[in-house]
A and B are shown apart, each in its own frame.
Chain A
Amino acid sequence: MTLLELRTELLRMAGEDPAAPVFHTTAAANAAINAAQQVFAGLTLCLESTATITSSGWTATAALLPKLIVPLRVRYGARRLHPATVDDLAALSANWSAHIDSPTQYLWLGWDLFRPYPLPGSVSYEITYATAPAVLAADSDVPQIPEDDHHELLEYAMVRIRLAEGGAELAKDTPRLERFMAAVESRAARTRARYIALGYDTRPAEKFLQEATQRWRSTAPAS
């Protein structure tokens, strides 16, 4: 679906004339669709990308990988590096940070702090990472998340634009979050299975997604 198609349907769902919306603007509808896609990608980690960065020590990667969500795999040349913790490295030697050699492991702390271990000097690493989608700006732009899930973006977007109204309108549409979270949970499960098969170092969360879906299932009217 294109941004235009999604926005047209969203505005119709909100009771607006898509060609001349009154209460919900085109910009607000576009923002809601974009927010839905960003949240979907953040919760499911369904989009991935690969880039090469150079590191000579502690490296804040956000400036190098602006769409980074989490790292999935790190390579040094053909060699796959394995994730480690500070405690893992401290257990090897108190002087682990001075160890100079070809790297075998890496630290990834918080969102973006990267450091290979051992440190070979300033060299390049291939980082495969879960990425945020591009912002939908032109009417012809198509969401990057899998096509099966495009329609689910409307569920979140609808609730988001209802935040402007509150009251009965918001209450009527809040159960849509259950459908959105169910789609997130389903996509996350498929992504998780794929990442396990690929041996990636990070996977989409499981338990809290089930809890979140359950949270809004309790608000949905009995069918």
Chain B
Amino acid sequence: MALNGTSILIEALPALGLQALADADSHWSESELYRALDRASETLARQAGLRVQASSIGPLVAGQAVYSLPSRFVAPLAEFIGTAQVERRATAHLEALSADWPVMAAETPSHTVLDLDGPGNIRTFPTPTAAGASFTSLHRALLPEVAAGTPFVNLPEFLSEFLYLAAIREAREREGPAQAKEVSALAGDLMNVLLSAAADLYGGPA
């Protein structure tokens, strides 16, 4: 369900002693509360495996081994070239096969490598000599960013409470260690219960 981050923050206002979002406390701002929601949704994606998507990396280009991963990529599940699922290999494995592996070429790659070209890139092996085949990634992804202008996030409804508690915890923690630390602690404990439930239902940490 598309949950509305703005509605969640408005619901949290009484717990923060406020009438309106614009009446920000001196310790935190409206945008910081939206960032708290965004971090909470990122936690759900990373720790619970909530979002999996199949995205095109792009058509293969002859002579090009390295491609950019889709945006908001978290962790791989599988890659496909054309309709074939290709195997992922560590760099050390390929180096053990041949010292010349980075310059080896074939019409269609049979493997992918994720640990060589930086966190945003994926390498095919061997380097393709033919262009045009589709290159698709099935992967865990972050949810779309939650912000004042883009407040909607698709989540199971019970996890709306996770975002609500995240906003309260964030606000109370920013007020300093002497201010209602029992509130932020309890909010954190309840979030842990919901995160454990989500991890159990949706796949757990990547």
Contacts and interface: CB of A to CB of B under 8 A. Distances in A.
Contact of B83 (A28, A97, A159): A97
A74 interface: no
A196 interface: no
Q: How large is the interface on A (under 10, 10 to 19, 20 to 34, 35 or more residues)?
A: 35 or more
Contact of B50 (A31, A111, A171): A111
A132 B156 contact: yes
A90 B85 contact: yes
A135 to B, nearest CB: 9
Interface in A39-75: 39, 41-43, 58, 60, 62, 66-70
B160 A38 contact: yes
Contacts of B201: 69-70, 111, 202, 205
19 contacts: A31-B11, A41-B158, A42-B156, A42-B197, A43-B197, A62-B1, A69-B156, A109-B138, A110-B51, A110-B52, A110-B202, A110-B203, A113-B53, A161-B15, A163-B186, A163-B187, A177-B190, A181-B193, A208-B200
B196 A208 contact: yes
Nearest to A40: B158
Interface in A169-213: 170-171, 174, 177, 181, 202, 205, 208, 211-212
Interface of A: 24-25, 27-28, 31, 35, 38-39, 41-43, 58, 60, 62, 66-70, 86, 90, 94-98, 109-113, 132, 159, 161, 163-164, 166-167, 170-171, 174, 177, 181, 202, 205, 208, 211-212, 215
Interface residues of B, number: 48
B1 A132 contact: yes
A126 to B, nearest CB: 20
Interface of B: 1-2, 11, 14-17, 49-54, 77-78, 80, 83-86, 138, 140, 154-161, 164, 168, 172, 180, 182-183, 186-187, 189-190, 193-194, 196-197, 200-203
Contacts of A42: 156-159, 194, 197
Contacts of A60: 53
